[in-house]
């Protein structure tokens, strides 16, 4: 396939993504669902009793572009951090509650932006109703977060096994409990570590309900393999038009979760944020230390949130073509490099050691 066809196929793929229209809710200042952009979420991994360490990680997440931050609240006392976080950081905070519904009530008292409950670990209809009543009174949006590993015993008894169907059943049942109390500021997640179960559950749910969906592959694994697994699972759902908020769950620094989430959204043309680096894998024709240049460049531009496509290419085979197509591009040759901007050559004969700095200069000129 030639380049032109390649591009038109890609553009067609983007046009093919038609987001399923869901109800719009608001979590703090962030709109979720409806026609709002898909929101990037992550979760704090620090001990919530350590205020300073938690705030530092929350700030790192914010700087990486995280738009909703979830925090585990394992017992009532951990709610003490919530007023502190609200004062210090302006990203909406979602409290993650399991087992003890009183923690949810306590968190709502502090004016938290949203609560995530897992009906399977609360496992008691009366307690879920109590949360619903309180959510309505305090106007707190709720995520009903179903996880295949902790489906309510009552549902497992009738459905027999934990699968996509029982996850959906659990979600619909919990939604009904909230609706009965007159509270509909809800979003739903249906997570499994198995991609196929996850996709199936979300597709079934999206066919019968228009509540907004938080999507992700739970317990996806370490940073590298987990990001790939998440990209496959989340990518398929997004391509189907499903998903209003996303989280890439990784065993590692949560900043990587945010970076990976934006890569997925950017590669599907759903959000444009940050510098998209197009670089060749190098081969025996490359006479430049491209790996080092690209790695350093990636670090240098990591905090830029404006979107640009930047090509860094190893030789004249595909270099000039890719560099010309990108917003800004550099193509190395045997001894020198050529710099492109908006498809035009703006400088030739660049000594290799100057190439990265000139590229960065051009980017800063463009975004400032």
CB of residue 333 to ligand SF4, shortest distance in Å? 10
* Cβ distance to ligand SF4 smaller for residue 212 or 319: 319
* Cβ distance to ligand SF4 smaller for residue 272 or 352: 352
> Long-range contact list for 23-28, CB < 8 A, 24+ apart?
23/184, 23/210, 23/211, 23/212, 24/212, 25/141, 25/185, 25/186, 25/187, 25/212, 26/141, 26/185, 27/68, 27/92, 27/94, 27/113, 27/114, 27/141, 28/91, 28/92, 28/93, 28/113, 28/114
CB of residue 290 to ligand SF4, shortest distance in Å? 7
Q: Does 95 interact with ligand SF4 (rule: CB under 6 A)?
A: no
Considering only residues 273 to 332 of the shown chain, the ones binding ligand SF4 according to CB under 6 A are: 280-283, 285-286, 313-315, 317-319
Pairing type for strands 25-27 and 30-32 reads: antiparallel
Which helix (DSSP H) or strand (DSSP E) does residue 214 occupy? Answer: strand 214-215
* Cβ distance to ligand SF4 smaller for residue 233 or 319: 319
The residues near 23 (Cβ < 8 Å, ≥ 6 apart) are 33, 34, 184, 210, 211, 212
* Cβ distance to ligand SF4 smaller for residue 281 or 349: 281
Q: Does 213 interact with ligand SF4 (rule: CB under 6 A)?
A: no
CB of residue 355 to ligand SF4, shortest distance in Å? 14
Q: Does 226 interact with ligand SF4 (rule: CB under 6 A)?
A: no
For tokens 């809710």, the residue is 25
CB of residue 322 to ligand SF4, shortest distance in Å? 8
Q: Does 227 interact with ligand SF4 (rule: CB under 6 A)?
A: no
Which residues are at the interface with ligand SF4 (CB under 6 A)? 280-283, 285-286, 313-315, 317-319
């Amino acid at each position: 396939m030639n380049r032109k066809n390649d591009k038109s196929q890609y553009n067609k793929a983007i046009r093919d993504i038609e987001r399923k229209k869901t109800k719009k809710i608001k979590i703090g200042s962030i709109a979720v669902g409806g026609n709002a952009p898909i929101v990037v979420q992550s979760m704090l991994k620090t001990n919530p009793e350590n205020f300073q360490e938690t705030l530092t990680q929350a700030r790192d997440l914010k700087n990486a572009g995280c738009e909703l931050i979830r925090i585990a609240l394992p017992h009532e006392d951990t709610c003490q951090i919530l007023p502190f976080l609200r004062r210090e950081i302006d990203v909406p905070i979602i409290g993650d509650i399991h087992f003890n519904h009183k923690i949810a009530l306590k968190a709502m008292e502090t004016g938290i932006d949203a609560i995530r409950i897992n009906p399977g670990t609360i496992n008691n209809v009366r307690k879920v109703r109590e949360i619903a009543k309180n959510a309505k009174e305090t106007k707190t949006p709720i995520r009903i977060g179903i996880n295949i590993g902790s489906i309510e015993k009552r549902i497992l008894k009738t459905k027999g096994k934990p699968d996509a169907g029982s996850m959906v059943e659990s979600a619909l049942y919990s939604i009904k409990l909230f609706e009965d109390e007159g509270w509909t500021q809800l979003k739903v997640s249906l997570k499994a570590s198995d991609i196929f179960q996850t996709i199936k559950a979300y597709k079934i749910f999206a066919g019968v309900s228009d509540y907004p969906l938080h999507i992700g592959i739970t317990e996806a694994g370490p940073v590298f393999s987990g990001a790939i697994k998440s990209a496959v699972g989340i990518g398929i759902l997004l391509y189907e038009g499903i998903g209003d908020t996303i989280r890439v769950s990784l065993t590692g620094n949560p900043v990587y979760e945010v970076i990976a989430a934006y890569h997925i959204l950017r590669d599907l043309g759903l959000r444009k944020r940050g510098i998209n680096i197009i670089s060749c894998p190098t081969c025996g024709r490359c006479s430049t230390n491209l790996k080092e240049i690209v790695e350093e460049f990636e670090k240098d531009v990591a905090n830029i949130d404006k979107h640009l496509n930047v090509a860094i290419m190893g030789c004249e085979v595909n270099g000039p073509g890719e560099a010309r197509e990108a917003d800004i591009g550099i193509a190395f040759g045997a001894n020198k490099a050529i710099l492109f901007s908006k498809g035009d050559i703006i400088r030739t004969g660049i000594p290799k050691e100057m190439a990265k700095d000139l590229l960065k200069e051009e980017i800063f000129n463009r975004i400032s």
